[in-house]
Structure 1
Amino acid sequence: MLLKNFSYFLIFILAVITISEMIGFQSIPIGPFNIGLLPLVFAIIITMVLGLQIFRKGIWKKVYSDRNISFAGKYLIFIMLPLMARYGADVAPQIREILQVGWVFIIQEIGNLGTVLIGLPIALLLGLRREAIGATLGIGREGELAYISEKYTLESKEGRGVLSIYIIGTLFGAIFFSVFAPIMLDLGLRVEALAMASGVGSGSMMSAASATLVARIPEMESTILAYASASQLLTSFLGTFTMVFLAAPLQRFMYKTFTRGDK
């Protein structure tokens, strides 16, 4: 029975991928902007809608079983490994051009402190306490998830905070980036800057942003993918050190200052 349910799960995944690719990239004009929607966005929307409780009956109940959901979350990192290899392949041909502006990529990592400087006070004003520590340490991807789980465990209030952001980012992050990147392009920002900014530490968000930029300016595909991949690699590497040695101590100091040690 377990094997049969897992077979439904795999068939469902292939069906969603096929349908999403058949829909393809869609550009929707909204006023002066053109919003690009990737196949990835449609895949997320389809799985979100069918995952609603009202649909989880019959065969969908087997597809969205607790075991299948746990499997998908647990082994997501292995699915991302080929994407990491692609990052390296995209960076290599443009390495000289990237090294010429290398300091910009490093300075960009300071932006990782923004979630603490801006997000923590807002979270506290909204009534969160220890949950805010997990929710505002970063963008809530694998690095932050690992750090919080090791330091506080995922059963703690801090763990619930980072898990909430992880889930929200998984569901809506790619959609937001696929919409936000072309809007910024229409507002006059350089495509190179937007490509660099898309490497925030999330493979799905980076792919969504860079792919919409490529769809808008296909003649700069190699540059966009190289800048986005380089930024993503540096964020994944340097972002960990920024989080541990800068963001986490700053967050603890701000939390104690704002709450006066309130638990």
Structure 2
Amino acid sequence: MKDTKKVVNFALFLIFVLVVIAIAERIGYQSFALGSFKIGLLPLVFAILITMLLGIKLCRKGILKRVYSEFNVNFAGKYLIFIMLPLMARYGADVAPKIREILSVGWVFIIQEIGNLGTVLIGLPIAILIGLKREAIGATLGIGREGELAYISEKYTLDSDEGRGVLSLYIIGTLFGTIIFSILAPLLLGLGFSVEALAMSSGVGSASMMTAASSALVAQVPEKAETIRAYASASQLLTSFLGTYTMVFLAVPLQRFMYNKMMKRGSK
């Protein structure tokens, strides 16, 4: 009986996902003016907003309570990476036609990986300042994507304070990161930043954030759509690969050093 209920709830969950996708696609790409800037919102953003609003406790009644069951929520988080695999294949297809152009500025892609240390240098002091302790280690090691999640899970387990920190950041990034990136990219473009530079910087290690930022840029500069997708995809691939080594050999030792120093100073 319990298994039957799970199957029914999961079927409702799949129907719910298809309905949300249909609604988001029906809304389509929307843009609005913010002063002298033009902000674009993708269907992906509307899909996230719809699922966020319907997922709050006040709305989770009747069928929605069954859709947002603990099993369905855990399933969605656990198998998110498999949904991203076709997107990873698409990255390779986007990079290939522009490979010579990308290699000509390859050193820029490598140098930008140092930016992964920003979460430690800036985020760790702020996290400790607002009262986080061991949770700060998981929350500031990176942007809380799969690489950081795997590292913290193996070293501390997800039931630890560090694990709760990285899980919290993963959820926050999933809920709000896509929305922020889809707004930030065209906003910086309006301020005069190069579209190529913004395309590179959109590959921070999160497939959803990269897609949101690059798609928003394509909507603003459609004549450079191939270049934007190629630069963003190459950046994302390098971040996924080199970012792991940056995390293990640079971010982890730096974070450990800063954390110990700051905690000792705070205890005096």
Q: Given the two structures, how large is their TM-score scaled by the length of structure 1? A: 0.98
The aligned counterpart of 1:28 is 32
| Counterpart Cα distance in 2 of 1:139 and 1:251 | 14
**Alignment partner for residue 254 of structure 1, among 255, 258, 261?**
258
The aligned counterpart of 1:156 is 160
When residues 262 and 74 of structure 1 are mapped into structure 2, their CA distance, relative to the original with a 3 A threshold, is farther
The aligned counterpart of 1:70 is 74
**Alignment partner for residue 121 of structure 1, among 120, 125, 132?**
125
Number of corresponding residues: 263
1:48 aligned partner, one-letter code: M
| Counterpart Cα distance in 1 of 2:114 and 2:210 | 18
Report the Cα offset of residue 262 of structure 1: 7.9
When residues 261 and 125 of structure 1 are mapped into structure 2, their CA distance, relative to the original with a 3 A threshold, is closer
1:80 pairs with 2:84: yes
1:105 pairs with 2:97: no
| Counterpart Cα distance in 2 of 1:123 and 1:2 | 39
Deviation string 1:18-74 (CA, Å, 9 cap, x unpaired) is: 100010000011111111100000000000000011111110011000011011011
The aligned counterpart of 2:185 is 181
Q: Which stretches of structure 1, 4 residues or more, deviate above 4 A after TM superposition?
A: none
The aligned counterpart of 1:94 is 98
For the aligned residue pairs, the C-alpha RMSD in angstroms reads 1.1
| Counterpart Cα distance in 2 of 1:227 and 1:28 | 26
SS, match of residue 7 in structure 2: helix
Deviation string 1:203-250 (CA, Å, 9 cap, x unpaired) is: 000000000000000000000000000000000000000000000010
| Counterpart Cα distance in 2 of 1:128 and 1:82 | 37
1:131 aligned partner, one-letter code: E
**Alignment partner for residue 239 of structure 1, among 233, 243, 251?**
243
Stretches of structure 1 that go unaligned for 5 or more consecutive residues are none
**Alignment partner for residue 149 of structure 2, among 145, 152, 165?**
145
Mapping of residues 36-55 of structure 1, within 5 Å: 36-55=40-59
SS, match of residue 58 in structure 2: helix
| Counterpart Cα distance in 2 of 1:5 and 1:223 | 43
Stretches of structure 2 that go unaligned for 5 or more consecutive residues are none
| Counterpart Cα distance in 2 of 1:206 and 1:101 | 19
**Alignment partner for residue 132 of structure 1, among 132, 136, 151?**
136
SS, match of residue 227 in structure 1: helix
2:171 aligned partner, one-letter code: I
The aligned counterpart of 2:8 is 4
Provide the identity percentage.
75
Q: Retained in 2: the 8 A contact 1:256–1:262?
A: no
| Counterpart Cα distance in 2 of 1:7 and 1:118 | 43
SS, match of residue 53 in structure 1: coil
SS, match of residue 159 in structure 2: coil
| Counterpart Cα distance in 1 of 2:262 and 2:57 | 39
Report the Cα offset of residue 261 of structure 1: 8.8
SS, match of residue 260 in structure 1: helix
SS, match of residue 28 in structure 1: strand
